[in-house]
Structure 1
């Protein structure tokens, strides 16, 4: 089985340039030295050590031109990309697995946010699926939100589970990339089942749950069920636009 891990070099180069532009002279000096050291010793120990030093040597702030990243996360992600790129193809997956296991939550977040650029072919799918079992909402959000990795590589059942867990954690499913392309009758039924579970437990319906539903694919019985819940004021007001004509 081919387990090569292929990097998206153009995207990584843009992120490198954005970080270089942000850093002040002192930070940039350390950053260049760190990159040189990793070139000389491209192994898991060196990468982990330098990742742990990022918070001491870099100020945390947002990175212009790289939405959703702060400087420390991005530096850690770029160190990962550098050390992975210096490995033989057959060694890359094992290295990423090792660094993920060693990392604290912040380092796991950096790896998951950059995973689509580190693994364009989906060879790290098992790692991503294991990462998705976390109970930490911030780690899970790094995997589920604002990244195309799940939509590119997850099988249907795993993608549906990711969506349902995102709802359970109160995350905004509008930030799940590729959701519209994964809608269908199966996801419709899962969403309706979740509505029933939430109402039966006396909990409010998740605000972003309508995004999971392909309303045009609902059966007449399903539409009638939702319309009845809305008329009973058991669904939020924003459901009205989705149920017009029911």
Structure 2
């Protein structure tokens, strides 16, 4: 897990190129001859005019060209998203001698919600060392559900680089937005007494407001680390039918 580390601005990002090579193959398999010609011309244009302005222009054209057709080989991705991810990688690679981190921040700032989401989804592949941690933390403050989900769900970046407090806040916001916290990568490895307390406080707040408690909340709790009083409280809530009965399955027999 990355702690507070200062990186020189000139240090290049360490990217996971093999992941983008696979995305290139998946996208190419989806294109007909006309769209493939356009796509190769777009990559050549970015290579000859490597700038954020060029990328923004091509990104908007990708949506008109490729639409939202799903990519069967990459569940959860469509052709436009794959193309935008590949444009990001190419531009950052071309700027290896410059301040890639500043460019990444600029692209995030300029992007619409869909473009921001793509950037966050591939952030771990663009930056394997976590130099963009501050960008991720800033992005996590959004109230846009799509953008936040791109950061929080099925994304290894927070698991690898967030300190515990930031990770806990990510979890609570995921629950607060009604997203599936079971899709937060590395959640089980962050189990602790402190996280138990936060999860139970969230549960009590939901109950006090007469809201339903997320079925995924047990994924955030290390039941073996609960105090006897906490276990008794959960059993009592289940008996009152204020919590679903399946919570009892997580409690030790002596609870």
TM-score of the pair, normalised by structure 1: 0.97
Whole-angstrom CA distance in 1 between matches of 2:161 and 2:29: 33
Secondary structure at the residue paired with 1:76?
Answer: helix
Q: 1:166 aligns with which of 153, 165, 174?
A: 174
Q: Which residue of 1 aligns with 2:37?
A: 29
Q: Which residue of 2 aligns with 1:103?
A: 111
Whole-angstrom CA distance in 2 between matches of 1:160 and 1:89: 36
Q: Which residue of 1 aligns with 2:57?
A: 49
Whole-angstrom CA distance in 2 between matches of 1:161 and 1:59: 34
Whole-angstrom CA distance in 2 between matches of 1:8 and 1:89: 17
Q: Which residue of 2 aligns with 1:2?
A: 8
Whole-angstrom CA distance in 2 between matches of 1:182 and 1:41: 44
Q: 1:73 aligns with which of 70, 74, 81?
A: 81
Q: Which residue of 1 aligns with 2:71?
A: 63
> Which stretches in structure 1 are left out of the alignment for 5+ residues?
none
Q: Which residue of 2 aligns with 1:175?
A: 183
Shift of 1:58: 1.2
Q: Which residue of 2 aligns with 1:227?
A: 235
Shift of 1:18: 0.7
Whole-angstrom CA distance in 2 between matches of 1:196 and 1:150: 26
Are the aligned partners of 2:153 and 2:184 in contact in 1 as well (CA < 8 Å)? yes
Q: Which deviates the most, 55-64 or 159-168?
A: 55-64
Per-residue CA deviation, residues 66-88 of structure 1 (Å, 9 max, x unaligned), is: 22211111111110011001103
Q: Which residue of 2 aligns with 1:134?
A: 142
Shift of 1:13: 0.7
Moved over 4 A (4+): none
- Relative to structure 1, the CA distance from residue 2 to residue 67 in structure 2 (aligned partners, 3 Å threshold; closer, same or farther) is farther
Are the aligned partners of 2:27 and 2:83 in contact in 1 as well (CA < 8 Å)? yes
Q: Which residue of 1 aligns with 2:3?
A: none
Are the aligned partners of 2:224 and 2:252 in contact in 1 as well (CA < 8 Å)? no
Aligned residues: 246
Whole-angstrom CA distance in 2 between matches of 1:204 and 1:56: 41
Q: 2:224 aligns with which of 186, 199, 216?
A: 216
Per-residue CA deviation, residues 83-141 of structure 1 (Å, 9 max, x unaligned), is: 00110354100101001000010110111111111110001111111101111111100
Whole-angstrom CA distance in 1 between matches of 2:195 and 2:179: 17
Per-residue CA deviation, residues 12-70 of structure 1 (Å, 9 max, x unaligned), is: 11111111111111111111010000011111111111111111111321213222211
Q: Which deviates the most, 196-205 or 63-72?
A: 63-72
- Relative to structure 1, the CA distance from residue 111 to residue 228 in structure 2 (aligned partners, 3 Å threshold; closer, same or farther) is same
Whole-angstrom CA distance in 1 between matches of 2:248 and 2:72: 38
The answer to whether residue 212 in structure 2 is matched with residue 240 in structure 1 is no
TM-score of the pair, normalised by structure 2: 0.93
Secondary structure at the residue paired with 2:250?
Answer: coil
